[in-house]
Amino acid sequence: MTPYAEMTKDEMRRAREELLAEYEKFQNMGLNLDMSRGKPCKEQLDLSMGMMDALYSGADLTCEDGTDCRNYGGLTGIREAKVLIGDMMENNPDNIIIYGNSSLNVMYDTISRAMTHGILGHKPWCKLDRVKFLCPSPGYDRHFKITEYFGIEMIPVDMTPTGPDMDTVEQLVAEDPAIKGIWCVPKYSNPQGYSYSDETVRRFARLKPAAPDFRIFWDNAYCIHHLYDTRQDHIIEILAECKRAGNPDLVYKFASTSKITFPGSGIASLAASLNNLEDIKDQLKNQTIGHDKVNQLRHVRFFKDIHGMVEHMRKHADVIRPKFEAVEEIFDRDLEGLGVGEWTKPNGGYFISFETLPGCAKEVVARAKKAGVTMTGAGATWPYGKDPKDSNIRVAPTYPSLQDLKTAAELFTLCVRIVSLEKLMEE
């Protein structure tokens, strides 16, 4: 296909008219499709229905250590849940706290506690003139919303296929004591599906922050969310690497079973050094008597162990892999060679990231919306919702049916082509 940029103005005009005729057909279809949020589809949720039978009125809800899960207690979670989630996170159960139903909530809490009470005896962040966070971008919109909510100044750092631009990260954290943290989705990142290289993880563990209370917020939300049996990404375990590097307290790790069992009814967890855990428990004991142990037990009885979880994730992959592949095929078929965008082809996670020509993302999303397809808002993947190049769009293929997804992807590529032609014709 001829790259659009090499066409004459006349050729561009003709191509645009043809595409607009196609677009009109989509408009007449009265579509109402949603590719905006990374939610599991019904078939995926159905996979976990067996968990509802794991406990019943006649079941013994006693843990291995004798804890009655029906009663108060167990601030940091039941042991067998720590073992299961520890295997999932590749951490020792002793380094884990099991929380409630959302890891995002744990991240919010972690920032909130640093604001009001400080980290390991350091000054609370709210008493400082300025607090800053590094935000590898494009990134996860809800991370950015948390830091924005607390008035923390967000500094975008470029994302690359091997992780954040580490030269910039190292330099900034070393020279500015106001920088207190960095958001990371190290495996199958949201939205690109990138996984950090060994070198990136090693450099993270060896950061020399000017702020003694700087922390890496390592959100390993997609740690076992592979799409393939053979093409899988693996990353170095950061907590152990920090210990090896002599920086044991540098990182907070987060995870949950939201996209393994039920979003909103899973179990969330935090892994950290024993020092950090003590600090956290000092607050946690004032916040709750304990989280939902019945749900923890239900998860353990359902999966039994990490092997059960891994098998379960293969079933998820069987449901969503064809969706990712369908989107990739349509993008390849409709856009390859036109020079109007680039997109990622992840081995796992929940998203595909699309880069339009500069200045086109908002218009593409608006055009798709006018024809009945909702995408994640352009800009959402950047701090403050401001994409400096107006070029990133997050594509979430898991929720719609395969047929709806194909229709939505076709409309999307059509919008990309129309908007790109219009942009090039302007120039």
Ligand X SMILES: Cc1ncc(COP(=O)(O)O)c(C=O)c1O
Q: What is the 3-state secondary structure (H, E, C) of the chain?
A: CCCHHHCCHHHHHHHHHHHHHHHHHHHHCCCCEEECCCCCCHHHHHCCCCHHHHCCCCCCCECCCCCECCCCCCCCCCHHHHHHHHHHHCCCHHHEEECCCCHHHHHHHHHHHHHHHCCCCCCCHHHCCCCEEEEEECCCHHHHHHHHHCCCEEEEEEEECCEECHHHHHHHHHHCCCEEEEEECCCCCCCCCCCCCHHHHHHHHCCCCCCCCCEEEEECCCCCCECCCCCCCCCCCHHHHHHHCCCCCCEEEEEECCCCCCCCCCCEEEECCHHHHHHHHHHHHHHCCCCCHHHHHHHHHHHCCHHHHHHHHHHHHHHHHHHHHHHHHHHHHHHCCCCCEEECCCCECCCEEEEECCCCHHHHHHHHHHCCEEECCCCCCCHHHCCCCCCEEEECCCCCCHHHHHHHHHHHHHHHHHHHHHHHHHC
Q: Is 269 in the site for ligand X (CB under 6 A)?
A: no
Distance in Å, CB of 104 to ligand X, minimum: 3
Closer of 41 and 360 to ligand X (Cβ):
41
Instruction: List the one residue from 90, 213, 219, 390 that touches ligand X (CB under 6 A).
Output: 219
In angstroms, the Cα distances linking 63 to 12, 105, 268, 288, 387 are 68, 26, 19, 20, 49
- Among 99-107, 150-158, 240-248, 353-361, the segment contacting ligand X (CB under 6 A): 99-107
Distance in Å, CB of 322 to ligand X, minimum: 21
Q: Is 160 in the site for ligand X (CB under 6 A)?
A: no
Q: Is 221 in the site for ligand X (CB under 6 A)?
A: yes
Instruction: List the one residue from 33, 185, 207, 380 that touches ligand X (CB under 6 A).
Output: 185
Q: Is 97 in the site for ligand X (CB under 6 A)?
A: no
- Among 89-97, 98-106, 169-177, 299-307, the segment contacting ligand X (CB under 6 A): 98-106
- Among 7-15, 244-252, 255-263, 330-338, the segment contacting ligand X (CB under 6 A): 255-263
Q: Is 103 in the site for ligand X (CB under 6 A)?
A: yes
Give the Cα separation of 341 and 344 in Å (integer): 10
Closer of 67 and 258 to ligand X (Cβ):
258
Closer of 263 and 383 to ligand X (Cβ):
263
Distance in Å, CB of 321 to ligand X, minimum: 18
Distance in Å, CB of 185 to ligand X, minimum: 4
Closer of 44 and 103 to ligand X (Cβ):
103
- Among 100-108, 228-236, 370-378, 402-410, the segment contacting ligand X (CB under 6 A): 100-108
- Among 26-34, 96-104, 276-284, 367-375, the segment contacting ligand X (CB under 6 A): 96-104
Record the tokens describing residue 122, joined without a space. Answer: 């350091």
Q: Is 112 in the site for ligand X (CB under 6 A)?
A: no
Q: Is 252 in the site for ligand X (CB under 6 A)?
A: no
Closer of 258 and 413 to ligand X (Cβ):
258
Q: Is 268 in the site for ligand X (CB under 6 A)?
A: yes
Instruction: List the one residue from 16, 23, 26, 38 that touches ligand X (CB under 6 A).
Output: 38
Distance in Å, CB of 349 to ligand X, minimum: 8
Closer of 89 and 335 to ligand X (Cβ):
89
Give the Cα separation of 7 and 29 in Å (integer): 31
CA neighbor of 378 nearest in space, from 396, 357, 367, 394: 394
Closer of 26 and 302 to ligand X (Cβ):
302
Q: Is 249 in the site for ligand X (CB under 6 A)?
A: no
Distance in Å, CB of 113 to ligand X, minimum: 17
Give the Cα separation of 68 and 417 in Å (integer): 60
Q: Is 76 in the site for ligand X (CB under 6 A)?
A: no
Query: To 10 degrees, what angle do helices 402-426 and 306-335 make?
Result: 40
Instruction: List the one residue from 84, 104, 134, 297 that touches ligand X (CB under 6 A).
Output: 104
Closer of 38 and 290 to ligand X (Cβ):
38
Q: Is 256 in the site for ligand X (CB under 6 A)?
A: yes
Distance in Å, CB of 138 to ligand X, minimum: 12
Instruction: List the one residue from 102, 168, 197, 232 that touches ligand X (CB under 6 A).
Output: 102
CA neighbor of 77 nearest in space, from 101, 56, 47, 55: 101
Distance in Å, CB of 59 to ligand X, minimum: 26
Binding site for ligand X (CB under 6 A): 38, 102-104, 140, 185, 190, 219, 221, 256, 258, 263, 268
